[in-house]
Amino acid sequence: MQNTPKTRRRFRVLLAEDDALDQMAFKRQVQAEKLPYDYEIAGSLAAARKALDCGEFDVMLADYYLGDGTAFDILQLSIDVPVIIATGAGDEEIAVKALKSGAYDYLIKDIDRNYLKVMPHIVENAVKHKEAEQALQRYHDELETLVKERTEELAAEKELLSVTVSSMSDGLICVDADRNIVLFNPVCERLTKYRAPEVYGKDIDEIVCFCDEKTRKPLKCPAVKALKSREIRHGTDRDVLVARDGTKTPISATASPIRREIDGVSENAGNRQVTGAVMILRDVSREREIDRLKTDFISSVSHELRTPLTSIKAYASTMLRDRNMPDDLRQNFLKTIDEESNVLKSLIDGLLDISRFEAGTVKMTHEPVDVEATIDRVISSLQPLADKKSIEIKKNVEPELARLLGDESRMRSLIRNLVHNAIKFSPSGGHVLVAAKCVADELIVTVSDYGVGIPKEYLPKIFDRFYRVNQPGKKTKGTGLGLAIVKDIVVMHQGRIDVESEPGKGTTFTIHLPLEPKNSEVPKP
Ligand code: ADP
């Protein structure tokens, strides 16, 4: 290898040349011109192959005839080095063929070796051309990576958006400026009973219909209002969505205009063009049901409080007015006032219990409870009520029932609520059964009646606070708190409650309680 001053760009050149004189001429030229070449000379095709295997070159000069082959054999190797073919005068056809076969350029050897004078220029061009090609390739590769990354990012964003829209618990509809539907998520399909492909391109007013819950009058769609007013618009709190099959769902609807900046128009929102509207639909059946239950509850509680209070007041006023009332009558009146006060107290206790359970501030005692004695106390306290309806309360308790570690007064309240309901929902002359037994480490208490029963669809709701089944034609007193309290007490004792019922045949509540709860902490119901 030769050295030239460091300041010049040096090229690594491979010369494939079998002619010793041509080799000499090349060397002389390099020396004479002080060409910045680090060169290697291969005297045959085999030697050229070896050199290419072992070294790295910027350019290769190859004589056409190489003794053991031709320069075409080198082109066949499809190497990454630009090859300049040297042919004799009159062999231009070979040169053209070489170019077609992938040679970068050619030199025509003349007798005076003038070709060596143009050689540096061609070599430099070949190297620069190669470098430019490589830079272009790098740029192309980088661009391709960027495009690939961006495409993947866009696909991921699109996927995320589509998954988000599909998994939303609310309905989402987008319309264009002409009110035509362009997006309709699965919740909208459920609410309107239309499939998304059926509604795309259709006017939203044809698909999404609102009416007033009370008056049933049609209401304007908030999305249409938002398009017109270019402002956010909300539905009313009495909106109902009417589905294709007439099903009505209480709905909360909010729509916003979609504004887009068109061709660099001012960023001021007021100036941006409204290109559509997006509307969110939220099913508020549960909230409206709770509102209804609360209203029912308030009127029910007021009624429940007023009945005993009215009678207390009436008896007290009569006693005040009639100072000479016979003692036995006064005694009777006082007894009634006492009983009615107890009713009031238990109602208020129930309300307080519920609010304490809600606040998580309930304290329970852990004492051995004689469940049979508790059942007896409940039965004797409810006997007058049962007698009024000629209902017999039967008891079936396993002898020597194991004691339960728990809170006696709450257990009494639990059994009382169930037996009270059993009497309340039984026809006159019927009977109610309270049973208790132990299985393994569990106490099982059942309260059965043969009364009105509960339709299957209401069973999951009866333990909800304030929930009361609407029995057509029947108006029984109550607050809808009893079973909620029962459930809270069962949970406190780490047990569970099941209910089986058949309308017209009767109802059985079964409570499973561990005899010794695992820890003394009171779980929040
Ligand atoms: P309520 O004060 O109305 O009795 P509860 O919470 O005790 O409230 O009961 C909730 C509802 O469950 C009742 O209104 C009634 O419709 C139904 N229910 C409870 N127990 C019975 C039963 N033994 N037979 C039929 N229906 C019952």
List, for residues 198-218, the tens digit of each pLDDT value: 999 999 999 999 999 989 999
- How many angstroms separate the CA atoms of 300 and 468, rounded? 10
**CB atoms closer than 10 angstroms to residue 379:** 18
What letter represents residue 327's amino acid?
A: D
Cα 375 from Cα 344, distance rounded (Å): 22
Residue 474's pLDDT is 60
Q: Give the span between the Cα atoms of 284 and 249, in whole angstroms.
A: 8
Whole-angstrom distance, CA of residue 200 vs CA of residue 427: 57
Neighbours of 353 (CB within 10 A): 19
Look at residue 519 in the predicted model and tell me its pLDDT. 60
What ligand 1 atom has the least distance to the C-alpha of 467? Answer: 10
How many angstroms separate the CA atoms of 153 and 68, rounded? 56
Predicted local distance difference test score (pLDDT) of residue 5? 43
The per-residue pLDDT for 471 is 64
Distance 293 CA to ligand 1 centre (A): 14
Residue 275 to residues 45, 272, 344: CA-CA distances in angstroms? Answer: 71, 9, 63
Which of 26, 508, 484 has its CA nearest to residue 297?
484
Low-confidence ranges of the chain (pLDDT < 70): 1-8, 262-271, 471-477, 519-525
Q: Report the interhelical angle of 20-33 vs 115-167 (nearest 10°).
A: 80
Res 78: pLDDT: 74
- Centroid of ligand 1 to alpha carbon of 477 (angstroms): 10
Please report the pLDDT score of residue 6 as a whole number: 47
Write down the pLDDT at residue 468: 80
Q: Which of 299, 483, 507, 510 to mutate to test the pocket of ligand 1 (most atoms within 8 A of CB)?
A: 483
Question: Could you give the C-alpha distances from 151 to 154, 157, 162, 163, 164, in angstroms and in order?
Answer: 5, 10, 16, 18, 20
CA of 237 to the centre of ligand 1 (A): 30
What ligand 1 atom has the least distance to the C-alpha of 422? 23
Phi-psi region of 193 (alpha: psi -120 to 50; beta: other; left: phi over 0): left
* Number of helices followed by number of strands (H, E) in the chain: 14, 20
DSSP structure class, residue 203:
B
Task: Give the residues surrounding ligand 1 with Cβ less than 6 Å away.
Answer: 417, 421-422, 425, 449, 451-454, 462, 467-469, 478-484, 507
Q: Are 284 and 251 in contact (CB under 8 A)?
A: yes
What DSSP assignment string belongs to 328-347?
A: HHHHHHHHHHHHHHHHHHHH
Where is 73: in which H helix or E strand? Answer: helix 71-76
Q: Are strands 171-176 and 181-184 parallel, antiparallel or unpaired?
A: antiparallel
Separation CA 379–CA 394 (nearest Å) = 9
Q: pTM of the predicted model, to two decimals? A: 0.51
pLDDT at residue 300 in the model: 73
Which pLDDT belongs to residue 4? 43
Atom of ligand 1 at shortest distance to CA of 480?
8
- Find out whether 171 and 280 touch, Cβ atoms under 8 Å: yes
Q: Which atom of ligand 1 is nearest to the CA of 481?
A: 6
**R_g of the chain computed on alpha carbons:** 48
